[in-house]
Chain A
Amino acid sequence: MTSSISPLNAQLHKELKIQEKHHYPHTKGQHILPVLVHEFAEASAEMPVVFVKNTETGQFQPVVILGFQSGENVFCSDEQWLINYVPAIATHYPFALVASEDNPQQFQLGIKDVEVLAKNTEGELLFDQNGAETAYLEKRKNTLGQYYENSLITEGFVKLLADKDLLEEQTLSLTLKGDKIDMNGIYLVNQEKLQSLPAEDFLLLRSKNYLLPIYSHINSLRQIQKLVALKQK
Chain B
Amino acid sequence: MAENTNRTIKKVVIVGGGTAGWLAANHLGKQLINEHSGVEVCLIESPNIPTIGVGEGTVPLMRQTLQELGISETEFIRECDVTFKQGIKFVDWVDNPVANKPSYYHHVFDYPNITELDLTPYWLDGLAGDKSYADALSIQGAVCDAGLAPKLITTPEYQGLTAYAYHLDAGKFAAILTKNATKKLGVKHIFADVLKVNVAESGDITSVTTDSAGEIAADIFVDCTGFKALLIGEALGSKFISKQNTLFADHALAIQVPYDEPAAPIPSYTISTAQQAGWIWDIGLNERRGIGHVYSSAHTSHEQAEQDLRQYIGPAAEGIDARLIPMNIGYRELFWKNNCVAIGLSQGFVEPLEATGLLVFDATSKMLATQFPAKHDDIATVAKQFNRNVQATWDNVISFVKMHYCLSKRDDSAFWLDNRDKNSIPDTLLEQLELWRNYVPTQYDFSNRFDIFNRENFLYVMYGMHYPTQIDAIKSRFQEDEVAKQHFKMMAQRTQGALANLPLHRELLLKIARYGLQKR
In the complex, whether A212 has a CB less than 8 A from a CB of chain B is: no
**Are B515 and A167 in contact (CB-based, < 8 A)?**
no
Are A58 and B520 in contact (CB-based, < 8 A)?
no
Contact in complex: A57, B518 (CB < 8 Å): no
Q: Does B285 contact A (CB under 8 A)?
A: no
Complex: A187 Cα to B155 Cα, angstroms: 13
Q: Which of B511, B514, B518, B519 contacts A53 (CB 8 A)?
A: B518
Q: Which residues of A contact B517 (CB under 8 A)?
A: 58
B459 to chain A, nearest CB (A): 33
Is the pair A57, B520 in contact by a Cβ cutoff of 8 Å?
no
The reply to whether B153 and A57 contact each other, CB–CB distance below 8 Å, is yes
Q: How far is the CA of A57 from the CA of B511 in the complex (A)?
A: 7
Docked complex: A35-60 residues within 8 A CB-CB of B: 53-60
B45: shortest Cβ distance to chain A, in Å? 32
Contact of B153 among A56, A168, A187 (CB under 8 A): A56
Contacts of B514 in A (CB 8 A): 57
Residues of A within 8 A of B152 (CB): 55, 58
Centre residue among B517, B518, B519 by max chain A CB count within 10 A: B518
What separation, in Å, do the CA atoms of A187 and B518 have in the docked complex? 12
Alpha-carbon distance between A57 and B155 when the two chains are bound, in angstroms: 11
A55 to B502, CA, bound (A): 12
- Pairwise interchain contact A162-B515, C-beta atoms closer than 8 A: no
Interface presence of B5 (CB below 8 A) = no
* B507 → chain A closest CB, angstroms: 11
- A56→B510 CA distance, assembly (Å): 12
Q: Is A169 an interface residue (CB 8 A)?
A: yes
Q: Which residues of B contact A169 (CB under 8 A)?
A: 520
Residue of B whose beta carbon sits closest to that of A60: B518
Cα–Cα distance between A169 and B154 once the two chains are bound (Å): 12
| CB of A187 to closest CB in B, whole Å | 7
Q: Kindly state whether residue A133 has any CB partner on chain B within 8 Å.
A: no
Give 1 or 0 for each of A159-176: 1 = CB within 8 Å of chain B CB: 000100101110000000
Please report the C-alpha to C-alpha distance between residue A58 and residue B153 in the assembled complex, in whole angstroms.
5
The answer to whether B519 and A58 touch across the interface, beta carbons within 8 angstroms, is no
Contact among A55, A56, A162, A185 for B518, CB-based, below 8 A: A162
How long is the Cα–Cα vector from A162 to B72 in the complex, in angstroms?
13
Q: Which of A43-102 contact B (CB under 8 A)?
A: 53-60
**How many A residues touch B, CB cutoff 8 Å?**
15
Give the contact-size bracket for chain B.
10 to 19
CB distance from B408 to the nearest CB of A (A): 43
Q: Within the assembled complex, what's the spacing in Å between the Cα atoms of A167 and B153? A: 17
B154 adjacent to A55 (CB under 8 Å):
yes
> Smallest CB-CB separation from A163: which chain B residue?
B519
Among B154, B155, B519, the residue within 8 A (CB) of A165 is B519
CB <8 Å contact, B153 and A162: no
Q: Report how far A187 CA is from B520 CA in the complex, Å.
A: 9
- When C-beta atoms are compared, the residue in chain A nearest to B156 turns out to be A169
Bound: A56/B152 CA distance, A: 9
Query: Interface digits, B483-520 against A, CB 8 Å rule (1 contact, 0 not)?
Result: 00000000000000000000000000001001111111
Residues of A within 8 A of B516 (CB): 58
B113 CB to closest chain A CB (Å) equals: 25
State the Cβ distance, B384 to closest chain A Cβ, in Å.
42
* Nearest B residue to A185, CB-CB: B154
Q: Which of A110-165 contact B (CB under 8 A)?
A: 162, 165
Contacts of A60 in B (CB 8 A): 518
B515→A168 contact, CB < 8 A: no
CA distance A167 to B517 in the complex (A): 14
Output the least CB separation between B510 and chain A (Å): 11
Bitwise, B389-413 to A at CB < 8 A (1) or not (0) is 0000000000000000000000000
In the bound complex, CA of A56 to CA of B153 (Å): 7
| B520 and A168 form a contact (CB under 8 A) | yes
**In the bound complex, what is the Cα–Cα distance between A86 and B205 (angstroms)?**
75
- Please provide the chain B residues from 138 to 190 with a CB less than 8 Å away from any CB of chain A in the complex: 152-155
**What residues of chain B lie closer than 8 Å to A53, measured between beta carbons?**
154, 518
B154, A167: Cβ atoms under 8 Å?
no
In contact, A59 and B515 (Cβ under 8 angstroms): yes
CA distance A226 to B154 in the complex (A): 29
Contacts of A187 in B (CB 8 A): 520
Of B155, B517, B520, most buried by chain A (CB within 10 Å of CB) is B520
Chain A residue numbers with a CB within 8 Å of B511 are 56-58
CB-defined contacts of B520 to chain A, threshold 8 Å: 162, 165, 167-169, 187
16 A–B contacts, CB within 8 A, in A order? A53-B518, A55-B152, A55-B153, A57-B153, A57-B514, A57-B515, A58-B152, A58-B153, A58-B155, A58-B516, A58-B517, A58-B518, A59-B515, A60-B518, A165-B520, A185-B154
**B interface residues with partner A (beta carbon < 8 Å):** 152-155, 511, 514-520
- 5 shortest A-B CB distances, which residue pairs? A58-B153, A53-B154, A57-B515, A58-B154, A58-B515
Known A57-B511, A167-B520; further 5 A-B contacts with Cβ < 8 A: A55-B153, A58-B152, A58-B155, A165-B519, A168-B520
